[in-house]
Amino acid sequence: MNNTRKTQGLRHLALRVRDVQVSQAFYERLFDMKLVWQPDPENVYLSTGVDNLALHQISDEERKQFKQSPVDPLDHLGFLMDSPESVEALFQEVSAQGVTIVKPPKQHRDGCFSFYLADPDHNTIQVLFEPSVQL
């Protein structure tokens, strides 16, 4: 164990997306992410002020080969919420917008409360209140 450094958590994720603008609008609208940097039209970096999400456009050549597999190495990504009520409020909001719900809200045995939705590229996102994580 290294006592000279302290990991601050998993704070960065990069996703390859089919349409950077559509994905950017999705994450800004639902998860309060703000644009931090857009070095070019194919790359966008968003942040909540705590986390960083990079969205990278799939090139035209890669798009021809790209297809969602039913077996994907990414199981899901997650956004932490401050309370079960916030989880429920976002569930109601995305449901009204017609966003695909993967799993409805559920109280977990460990005290967590969450639901799962899909982003425009069919990545699964868990919206989660996790009582052991202090925001």
Average pLDDT for runs of 10 along the chain of length 135: 66 90 97 95 93 90 68 81 94 96 95 94 92 76
Please check whether residues 18 and 55 belong to one and the same domain. yes
Q: How many domains does the chain have?
A: 2
pTM tops 0.85, yes or no: no
Please check whether residues 125 and 80 belong to one and the same domain. yes
Please check whether residues 47 and 84 belong to one and the same domain. no
Give the CATH number of the domain where residue 14 resides.
Answer: 3.10.180.10
Q: Give the domain-ending residue among 35, 62, 89.
A: 62
Sequence-distant (≥ 6) Cβ neighbours of residue 78 within 8 angstroms: 114, 125, 126, 127, 128
Query: What pLDDT does 72 receive?
Result: 66
Query: What pLDDT does 69 receive?
Result: 59
What is the 3-class SS of the chain, one letter each residue? CCCCCCCCCCCEEEEEECCHHHHHHHHHHHHCCEEEEEEECCEEEEECCCCEEEEEECCHHHHHHCCCCCCCCCCCEEEECCCHHHHHHHHHHHHHHCCCEEEEEEECCCCCEEEEEECCCCCEEEEEECCCCCC
Domain residues for the domain of 91 are 75-135
Query: What pLDDT does 42 receive?
Result: 93
Please check whether residues 98 and 57 belong to one and the same domain. no
Please check whether residues 87 and 129 belong to one and the same domain. yes
Query: What pLDDT does 47 receive?
Result: 94
